[in-house]
């Protein structure tokens, strides 16, 4: 499974011990500036720094992901910008993606575990892990959907939705209603298909979709679990885009097919 991020655990444990960044840095014989960069994920600690931090905060390094902030740069390089310097936009996470992936593992271990094993073998796994840690997901089925795409070879990039084509409704940040369609979003690119997750649109109310797909045209993918309430489905069509529903049954079958192909290869 994708591991929790080291720098976030640093921050959590430091605060739990009521240590300031300066106090923690002094104990680990580094500058507060260096500690700040490590705690925000902008830099990756050296092996010696990792040992000192783990000793101070009683952590085990192998349980956490040490993904360099520079991975973001790689994602940016693979997504062409619509504007000279379009800003980044990360959809709000109501729960950390780690919880979603863990829930998927608990629900469908026989599929999620081998899918994760496949993904971990990718040469760009650090990049994939960065993508998954910053992704907004609404359910464990969405986490499995992401794993299936990654197991198929989808590549994480950062790209602006409006670079790929006009949308009938504005993409917005639901926290302040600002239009963010020209901002670079996390995206999975599989061949010529682009998958954006948990995008919000301005309509008669805020509409949030599970997946916005761009192939030759735009469409919406809604991932519906066994307990899905279909009484709310009518609002999906306010976006004036085709809506495709992926059921839990069909997603599990797709996961089995992906694993069967991987095993045969």
pLDDT digits (tens, 9 = 90+) for 142-196: 999 999 999 999 999 989 999 999 999 999 998 888 999 999 999 999 999 999 9
The reply to whether 47 and 132 lie within a common domain is no
In a domain, residue 1? The reply is: no
The reply to whether 161 and 215 lie within a common domain is yes
The reply to whether 21 and 111 lie within a common domain is no
In tens, the pLDDT along 188-234 reads 999 999 999 999 998 888 888 999 999 989 999 999 876 555 555 55
In tens, the pLDDT along 16-72 reads 999 999 999 999 988 888 888 788 777 778 778 888 999 999 988 777 766 555 455
In a domain, residue 185? The reply is: yes
Question: What pLDDT, on the 0 to 100 scale, is given for residue 226?
Answer: 60
In tens, the pLDDT along 85-95 reads 567 777 776 67
pLDDT band at 110 (very low <50, low <70, confident <90, very high): very high
Domain end position, chosen among 46, 66, 86: 66
SS3 83: coil
The reply to whether 197 and 216 lie within a common domain is yes
Count the Cβ atoms, other than its own, within 10 Å of residue 214: 20
Question: What pLDDT, on the 0 to 100 scale, is given for residue 81?
Answer: 42
The reply to whether 119 and 154 lie within a common domain is yes
Section 106-128 average pLDDT = 92
Between CA 262 and CA 139 the distance in angstroms is 25
Between CA 19 and CA 5 the distance in angstroms is 20
Q: For residue 164, how many C-alpha atoms fall within 13 Å in the half-sphere facing its CB?
A: 25
What are the structure tokens assigned to 68, written together?
A: 């360099």
The reply to whether 117 and 173 lie within a common domain is yes
Contacts of 83 (CB under 8 A, 6+ apart): 160, 182
The reply to whether 52 and 88 lie within a common domain is no
Number of domains in the chain: 2
**The domain containing residue 62 runs over which residues?**
6-66
The reply to whether 153 and 28 lie within a common domain is no
Between CA 38 and CA 67 the distance in angstroms is 11
Asked if pLDDT for residue 120 goes beyond 50, the answer is yes
The reply to whether 240 and 151 lie within a common domain is yes
Question: What pLDDT, on the 0 to 100 scale, is given for residue 68?
Answer: 54
Q: What is the pTM of this model?
A: 0.71
Give the strand pairing for 218-224 and 243-247: parallel
Domain end position, chosen among 66, 89, 110: 66
Question: What pLDDT, on the 0 to 100 scale, is given for residue 98?
Answer: 81
Domain end position, chosen among 38, 66, 94: 66
In tens, the pLDDT along 77-87 reads 555 443 345 67
């Amino acid at each position: 499974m994708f591991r929790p991020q080291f720098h976030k655990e640093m921050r959590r444990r430091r605060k739990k011990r009521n240590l300031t960044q300066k106090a923690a840095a002094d104990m680990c014989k580094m500058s507060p500036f260096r500690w700040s960069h490590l705690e925000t994920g902008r830099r990756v600690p050296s092996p010696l720094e990792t040992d000192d931090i783990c000793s101070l905060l009683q952590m085990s390094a192998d349980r956490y992901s040490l993904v360099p902030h520079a991975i973001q740069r790689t994602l940016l390089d693979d997504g062409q910008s619509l504007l000279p310097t379009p800003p980044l936009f990360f959809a709000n996470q109501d729960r950390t993606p780690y919880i979603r992936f863990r829930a998927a593992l608990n629900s469908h271990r026989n599929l999620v575990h081998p899918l994760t094993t496949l993904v971990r073998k990718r040469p760009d796994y650090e990049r994939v892990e960065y993508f998954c840690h910053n992704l907004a997901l609404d359910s464990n089925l969405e986490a499995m959907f992401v794993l299936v795409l990654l197991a198929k070879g989808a590549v994480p990039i950062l790209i602006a939705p409006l670079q790929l084509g006009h949308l009938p409704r504005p993409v917005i940040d639901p926290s302040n209603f600002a239009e963010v369609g020209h901002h670079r979003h996390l995206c999975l690119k599989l061949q010529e298909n682009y998958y954006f997750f948990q995008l919000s649109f301005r309509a008669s109310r805020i509409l949030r979709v599970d997946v916005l797909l761009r192939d030759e045209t735009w469409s919406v993918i809604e991932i519906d679990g066994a307990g899905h309430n279909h009484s709310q489905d009518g609002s999906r069509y306010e976006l004036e885009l085709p809506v495709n529903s992926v059921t839990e049954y069909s997603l599990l079958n797709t996961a089995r097919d992906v694993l069967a192909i991987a095993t045969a290869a």
